[in-house]
Amino acid sequence: MYIPPHFKVADRTVADLLAGAVTGDLVTATPSGPTATFLPVLYEPEVGERGAFLGHLARANEQWRLPTLGEGLLILHGPDAYVSPSWYPSKAEHGKVVPTWDYLVVHVYGRLVVHDDMAWLESLVRRLTTRHEAGREAPWSVDDAPASFVQAQLRAIVGIELVIERVEAKAKWSQNRPAPDVAGVIAGLEAAGEDHAAAALRAANRS
């Protein structure tokens, strides 16, 4: 991934992004061509030197059966938003401005491992469920469903583990613009209801 110096993400921030990731696009190069699947994920920091991402695919999804050529890639997406040049005060000064897009993206590369194991899958599903049901007034539990039904559902999926070998992260939040333009973008995003992107931009440009 092309990462200009001013868009580079600090290692500490990268660690937080990995821990907070909830979904991603799993991309693999196969003899049949590139294949991709969107899936919920869980970060496991204790695996290997850099941790691993765990997830599952439908058994009917051929991606897990196809040989992976080289590394697997998991793309994690953060907030993103269109940036209008009309938000820049510098537009009125010289007009030399163009539209752009601000965003956060993380590319995680690693070795892909398939887990066709019911116990491994049940543990993962329980952990994912606990994570996403936490804080709900009446959290759903895997044990709320009949055991035979749960087992049938587990037989319909296959576990995926991406053992991390390298990570590339890019946070493009107008850091290359002068301070008045940054303030203009923040105001423009907030007016457009892009609160998550505005907050990320404000944090990235905080001195």
Domain 5-80+99-175 has CATH 3.40.50.300: no
Tell me which DSSP letter residue 97 carries.
-
Predicted confidence (pLDDT) per residue in 86-133, tens digit? 999 998 788 888 999 999 999 999 999 999 999 999 999 999 999 999
Q: Residues 151, 132, 154, CA angle at the centre, nearest 5°?
A: 15
Provide the 10 A C-beta neighbour count for residue 22.
Answer: 12
Answer whether 24's CB lies under 8 Å from 39's CB.
yes
Predicted pLDDT at 131: 94
Domain residue spans in the chain? 5-80+99-175
Tell me which DSSP letter residue 140 carries.
-
User: What average pLDDT is seen over the chain?
Assistant: 94
Predicted pLDDT at 48: 86
- Counting as low any pLDDT under 70, the low residues of the chain are 207
